[in-house]
Amino acid sequence: MLTLLAFLVALGILIAVHEYGHYRVAVACGIKVLKFSIGFGKPIYTWRLKGRPTEFAIGMLPLGGYVKMLDEREAPVDPAERHLAFNTQPLKSRAAVVAAGPMANLLLAIVLYSVVNWSGLQEPKAILASPVAGSIAERAGLRGEELVQQAAFEGEPLETVRSFEDLRWRLTQGALNGRDVRLAVSQGRLSSAEAPSKEVVLKLGELNASDADAQLFRKIGILGPWTQAVIGDVMAGGAAEKAGLRSGDIVRRVADLAIVDGQQLREAIRGQAQAAGAARTPSAQTWQIIRGGQTLALEVTPQIRQDGNLSVGRIGAYVGAAPELVLVRYGPLDGLWQGAVRTWDVSLLTLRMMGKMVTGQASLKNLSGPLTIADYAGKSASLGWSAYLLFLALISVSLGVLNLLPLPVLDGGHLMYYLWEATTGRTVSDAWMETLQRGGVVVLLCMMSVALFNDVTRLFG
């Protein structure tokens, strides 16, 4: 129920803001707006504002919306009102009305990011867990428990890293854009921001990354923030329960391996599938744990499970304590600026990913449809209003960027027509318009089909 409600609220807000952008600029340009609708199909509810010619409506199908303006191309127009018709407006006014929808979504994203920045968000501190063996992070000299103080792309000045999420975003950008990242780190998770630091360079340019997925971060070697190697909830019937492990046990050693954090313990458990080989029966391990101040030795035999195409070890328990948190909050101007920067960065990243998908450099699996969006809407809402606002901001950016693409059925397609008109002094002919519209519909339907297929595969596969 929460997922459905969060999804409908998200759609309603994003569609209303997009269409209001078109409506507000149309009214400002002196265009008569006949109808403003959120949703398609038969209206559930309609109303009019006093002294306004516009009918406002909420349709039965909440998958879009529209603003219907007075236009000679759609219906006869009274000569007395011809100056109020959309098609009689100067080119700059028509372009402004069309561009206003996507721009409203981008402005909404700036506002949402800014609100979260101003209110503050508890995020994991940028303390690194043990890197994945053989990864870029390990080759750079990272060993775990380092506090990341600053980061920057190679050739740019270092900037303060406020949280692990801040660091993860920079690593994502670096990997997808093929840029190395410099980190200024201090040794020891209890180090202060003023502690002496050293610089390391993560050679992300050699990844040639196309997808921002879990495997990408395994190659980088930074999977999460530092956590204590403690056992959390234990599942009934799992390997952990059978071995006698309890919630709260602190793991100090697995066989001959000294354990320093939760990430290293998870990797040791996962790796049991490879150690088992073709027999698929992992051997028992001697775990040294601390329980109630006493040191105990337990024999633990992980179970092998499938994780996608990989076989991994599992013990049937939550591994690792909650990470250390830090409050990330910005002042009025800094928060607004950071909101604008994040919107710009996400927009550029979205465009680059779309470009890579078109050229075949990135997988079409990156396309997501309504089912995935609904799933994330529910998950973010369950985490609190800040997470939900961040989700809304991300989707709002995606919607704004998508609508600016030069596809004839989208706002960007109409802007493409106006660019042709501004360049040649002639409007696009009706024959060409019809052909381009049909082609645009085909492309859009193909994108929607792929996105829906990805949704079904991701959620039910």
Given the residues 19, 145, 146, 267, select the one marked as catalytic.
19
By C-alpha distance, which of 442, 435, 401, 433 is closest to 414? 433
Q: Do the Cβ atoms of 110 and 340 come closer than 8 Å?
A: yes
| Residue found by looking up tokens 């075949």 in the block | 360
How far is the C-alpha of 438 from the C-alpha of 435, rounded, in Å?
5
How far is the C-alpha of 7 from the C-alpha of 13, rounded, in Å?
10
Angle 219-157-171 from CA coordinates, rounded to 5° = 20
Q: Do the Cβ atoms of 47 and 41 come closer than 8 Å?
A: no
Query: Which tokens in the block code for residue 362?
Result: 């990135």
Q: 417 — phi, psi (to 5°)?
A: -60, -45
Q: Do the Cβ atoms of 415 and 406 come closer than 8 Å?
A: yes
Q: Do the Cβ atoms of 93 and 29 come closer than 8 Å?
A: yes
Contacts of residue 223, Cβ cutoff 8 Å, sequence gap at least 6: 129, 132, 214, 217, 263
Residue 19 is a catalytic residue: yes
Q: How many residues does this entry show for the chain?
A: 461
By annotation, the residues acting in catalysis are: 19
